């Protein structure tokens, strides 16, 4: 059971928009920055969003992050088949003194 809760799967058609939610508590998301990672099949995770809503260099603006209270959201617009991957949210949990990840969300582009 992950400390952060994500939907197991989401799907949408190419060109459409999808959002992935990440729910936590005041000890993690509520008081710390959230990151989002993309893991393509058979590869290492890749940082998509950090500090709630910032993108590393090279990450297209189709990917966006937001946070409100104890929840965070990753948005992906203009979906492409190459976006099919597992997506994870992560943050620091002050009570646990540990990094916590969500259980991951599998994105299917139909």
Binding site for another protein (CB under 8 A): 2, 32-33, 35, 37, 39, 44-47, 50-51, 56, 86, 88, 90-92, 96-104
Q: Based on CB atoms, which residue is closest to another protein, 41 or 82?
A: 41
Query: Closest approach of Cβ 77 to another protein, in Å?
Result: 22
User: DSSP letters along 24-77, please?
Assistant: --TTTGGGS-EEEEEE-TTS--EEEEBTTTB--TT--TTEEEEEETTEEEEEE-
Query: Closest approach of Cβ 90 to another protein, in Å?
Result: 7
The Cα–Cα gap between 5 and 17 comes to 21
Q: What angle do CA 6, 69, 89 make, to 5 degrees?
A: 30
Residue 3 has what DSSP assignment?
Answer: S
Q: Based on CB atoms, which residue is closest to another protein, 25 or 35?
A: 35
Query: Closest approach of Cβ 13 to another protein, in Å?
Result: 26
Q: Based on CB atoms, which residue is closest to another protein, 13 or 44?
A: 44
């Amino acid at each position: 059971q992950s400390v952060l809760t994500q939907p197991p799967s989401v799907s949408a058609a190419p060109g459409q928009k999808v959002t992935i939610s990440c729910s936590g508590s005041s000890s993690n998301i509520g008081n710390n920055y959230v990151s989002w990672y993309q893991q393509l099949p058979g590869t290492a995770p890749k940082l998509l969003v950090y500090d709630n809503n910032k993108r590393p260099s090279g990450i297209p603006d189709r990917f966006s992050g937001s946070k409100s209270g104890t929840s965070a959201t990753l948005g992906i617009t203009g979906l492409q088949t190459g976006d099919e991957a597992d997506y994870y949210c992560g943050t620091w949990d002050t009570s646990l003194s540990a990094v916590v990840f969500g259980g991951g969300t599998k994105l299917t582009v139909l």
